[in-house]
Chains A and B, each alone.
Chain A
Amino acid sequence: MNTTEWFGIAAALLIGLGLYGILTQPMLLRKIVSFNVLGSGVFLMFGVIARRGAAAGLTGDPVPHAFVITGIVVAFSASALAVTMALKLHEDTGESAFPEGEDATAPDNPDEDKA
């Protein structure tokens, strides 16, 4: 059995895990961390595809490698922006999670105007 395929299956599991975290973790910061796990799973899948395309004396296809490098940088930019927004939300409203369902009218939400 080729170990490259194992990394591919691991990548699929990482994507599933990251998505699970995004769906179930209430804290926005934890959603951002899970988003990064999901992203790294996608990158790893690129790596597996690049590895399978090893040819011309190279250990992998350099085009997906270049994509992943730019991808990691863009993922960091997105995370930095998301973290800043989460901290801003906390600063302005004291919230660290999305208000949802009946919680949206919780008393600690000062902007809520129940007439």
Chain B
Amino acid sequence: MSDVVLHGGLILLILSLAVMTVVTRDTFAAITAFVVYGMLLGLAWVALGSIDVALTEAALGSGITGALLLRAAVCLRDKEAAAEVRRPGRAAHRVSGLVCAAIAAGLAAMVLMLPDPAPSLAPAVMESLPATQVKNPVTGVLLAFRAWDTFLETVVLVLALVAVWGMTPDALWGGRPGELRQHAHDGPLVFLARVLPPVGVMLGIYLFWIGADEPGGKFQGGTILAAMWMLTLLAGLTDAPPVSRRWLRAAMVAGPATFLLAGLSGVVFASGLFAYPPGFAKPVILLIEAASTVSIGVTLCLLAIGPPSRPANR
């Protein structure tokens, strides 16, 4: 009974925020609604029993995505009226509405007709999990059973950053991303950027470390590290490094490179590509996770602040 009230209320809130996100005319208001929507979606993931996904959704899907979208909204602030001219006519709105309602209805019907009993890989995962020596089944799936997917995904992050940097004007290549900030008058921001990062960095490392056995892992931990770096950049306490710096590039590829080396070593020391030597699975997984946490933190922050926008020598 309490589930009905709690989950029903949560779903109503999520749906109304989604409507606000999609139809509100003011872009800033829409993005604010989107951030709150993401936070509540995190609660929905808790209700659906996955703390791992809830952490990722709240930190990355809502938090850092929100920061990225707000940065763009500020740049495009004066363009809203101009774009409004391009709004499709009433008839196009109606047709789109009908098509989307039909798609939603079809998907809803499919959800209600899902096979019962539901197919599940949970027993298979729990049966093989002891071999990986980690206790968090999601980490087991990410780092052992579907390691190939997860490896490619860490590569996708780096490729996306390369593509973002590819849009740098020629004159600024090798320069620093973001704008230089000297916000002496934003005292509260500077204060926050001094107090929060020590706790945040500890929390990020904790989430990575606990991820082997409890909800958490490199994505959640790395996201918090990225957020802390963004905070210090925003407050002007640190300056973004020029993208040509070698240490920066090394930090970006440390995770995928460690992952690949560990995967290749499986050919020699274990039964094949991305197989871990029996008895050493946990140290190898922790090594990959540690390197990936750093890479994910660096890459996510750089993705959010965009391509170089000013020369390296200030």
Contact = CB atoms under 8 A, between A and B. Distances in A.
Contacts of A27: 27, 76, 79-80, 83
Contacts of B187: none
Contacts of A72: 53, 56-57, 60-61, 219
A99 B86 CA distance: 8
B44 A55 contact: no
Given A20-B96, A97-B83, A76 B303 contact: yes
B173 to A, nearest CB: 14
Q: Which of under 10, 10 to 19, 20 to 34, or 35 or more describes the interface residues of A?
A: 35 or more
Interface string B296-314: 1000100110110000000
B146 A49 contact: no
Interface in B61-83: 61, 64-65, 68-69, 71-73, 75-76, 79-80, 82-83
Interface of B is mostly: helix
Interface stretch (B105-113, B239-247, B256-264, B276-284): B105-113
Given A14-B15, A40-B38, A80-B160, A47 B126 contact: no
Nearest to A2: B3
Nearest to B158: A77
Contacts, number: 291
A34 to B, nearest CB: 5
A40 B83 contact: no
Contacts of A7: 7, 11, 44, 47-48
Contacts of B11: 6-7, 10
Contacts of A8: 108, 111-112, 114
A65 B114 CA distance: 18
Given A27-B80, A56-B126, A98-B86, A87 B41 contact: no
Given A7-B47, A29-B72, A56 B123 contact: yes
A3 to B, nearest CB: 4
Contacts of A20: 22, 96-97, 100
Contact of A61 (B96, B122, B150): B122
Given A51-B49, A73-B153, A44 B118 contact: no
B114 A14 contact: no
Contact of A96 (B68, B79, B119, B156): B79
Interface stretch (B137-145, B190-198, B201-209, B228-236): B137-145
Nearest to B97: A20
Contacts of B44: 7, 10, 44, 47
Contacts of B92: 23-24
Contacts of B45: 47
Contacts of B93: 24
Given A3-B4, A16-B100, A50-B48, A87 B76 contact: yes
B79 A70 contact: no
B27 A76 contact: no
Contact of A6 (B7, B60, B156): B7
Contacts of B23: 21
Interface of A: 1, 3-21, 23-27, 29-30, 32-34, 36-37, 40, 43-45, 47-63, 65-66, 68-70, 72-81, 83-88, 90, 96-100, 103
Interface of B: 3-4, 7-8, 11, 14-15, 18-19, 21-23, 27, 30-31, 34, 37-38, 41, 44-45, 47-50, 52-53, 56-57, 60-61, 64-65, 68-69, 71-73, 75-76, 79-80, 82-88, 92-93, 96-97, 99-101, 103-108, 110-112, 114, 118-123, 125-127, 137-138, 140-142, 145-146, 149-150, 153, 156-157, 160-161, 163-164, 167, 217, 219, 296, 300, 303-304, 306-307
